[in-house]
Amino acid sequence: MAKALRVFSYIILSVLALILILFIWFYLSRAIPIWQAKSKIGAPAATLYADGLTFRDLNKNGILDPYEDSRLPVEIRVEDLLSQMTLEEKAGLMYHTFIFPGKEGQIAGVLNPMNLLPVESALFNKHMHFFNLYMIPEGKLAAVWLNQIQELAERTRLGIPVTISSDPRHTAMSEGAAVAVHTPAFSHWTEPIGLAAIGDTAFARRFGEIAAREYRAIGIHTALHPMVDLATEPRWGRISGTFGEDAELSSALGAAYIRGFQGDTLSATSVSTMTKHFPGGGPQKDGWDAHFEYGKDQAYPGNNFHHHLIPFVAAIEAGTAQMMPYYGVPAGQTSEDVAFGFNRDILTTLLRNEMGFEGIVCTDWNIINPLKIFGFELMQPRAFGVEHMSPLERTQKAIEAGVDQFGGESSPEQIVQLVNNGLLSETRIDESVRRLLTLKFLLGLFDNPYVDVDRVDELLATDEAVRLGYESQLRSQVLLTNQIIDGKPLLPLENGSLKLYVEGHNPTVAALFGDIVDNPDDADVIILNINPPFDPGYGRLAGIQIFREGRLYYTADELEPVLALLEKKPAIVTTYLERPAILTEIAEKAGAILVNFGATDQAVFDIIFGNFNPVGKLPFDMPSSWESVLDQMEDVPFALENPLFRFGHGLGF
Q: CA–CA separation, 73 vs 408, rounded Å?
A: 32
When computed from its CA atoms, the radius of gyration of the chain, rounded to whole angstroms, is 27
DSSP string covering 206-260, please? HHHHHHHHHHHHHT--EE---B-----STT-TTGGGS--S-HHHHHHHHHHHHHH
Say how many Å lie between the first and final Cα of the chain, rounded.
81
Whether residue 157 contacts residue 123, with contact meaning beta carbons closer than 8 Å, is answered with no
Of 289, 364, 404, 601, which residue is the catalytic one? 364
Count the Cβ atoms, other than its own, within 10 Å of residue 167.
Answer: 18
Whether residue 559 contacts residue 551, with contact meaning beta carbons closer than 8 Å, is answered with no
**By C-alpha distance, which of 539, 639, 642 is closest to 234?**
639
Whether residue 279 contacts residue 340, with contact meaning beta carbons closer than 8 Å, is answered with yes
Please confirm, yes or no, whether 364 is among the known catalytic residues: yes
Find all residues with CB under 8 Å of 521, minimum gap 6, and list them: 568, 569
Whether residue 612 contacts residue 206, with contact meaning beta carbons closer than 8 Å, is answered with no
Q: How many helices (H) and strands (E) does the chain have?
A: 20, 26
**By C-alpha distance, which of 188, 248, 264 is closest to 471?**
188
For 515-582, the three-class secondary structure string (H helix, E strand, C coil) is EECCCHHHCCEEEEEECCCCCCCCCEECCEECCCCCCCCCCHHHHHHHHHHHCCCCEEEEEECCCCCC
Length of the chain: 653
Find all residues with CB under 8 Å of 440, minimum gap 6, and list them: 129, 160, 161, 163, 446
Active site residues: 364
